[in-house]
Amino acid sequence: MKKTRFTEAQIMGVLRQMEGGVPAAELCREHGMSSTTLYKWRAKHDGMDASLISEMKAMAEENRRLKRMTAAVSFPVKPCQGFRARRESAQI
């Protein structure tokens, strides 16, 4: 997953500045980001505080971990290993 250059606290600070009346173009220039990024942040984090954002990220990480566990149980690797062993013995 792509890492972000900005922490949750920085994102919240930028959004607070925007709510305070600072123009979006000035914020983007000051922080070195595109206006698209700023508006995506606003759509995603509007009305949240830093603790809610960190909680949301923790839940997303837990979901990723659970999906990997489910995939490991649902799609066992053993049938593929048996196929490879038969193939190697046939080539000898």
Q: Is residue 80 part of a domain?
A: yes
Q: Is residue 20 part of a domain?
A: yes
Containing structural domain, residue 70: 8-91
**11 with 53: CB under 8 angstroms?**
yes
Q: Is residue 61 part of a domain?
A: yes
- Which residue matches tokens 């909680």? 55
Mean pLDDT (whole number) for 58-78: 85
* 9-46 pLDDT tens trace: 888 889 989 989 999 999 999 999 999 999 999 898 87
Tell which residue, 80, 58, 78, 61, has the closest CA to residue 69.
61
Q: What is the pLDDT of residue 33?
A: 92
Residue 75 dihedral angles phi and psi, to the nearest 5°: -120, 80
Domains held by the chain: number = 1
Residue 57 dihedral angles phi and psi, to the nearest 5°: -65, -40
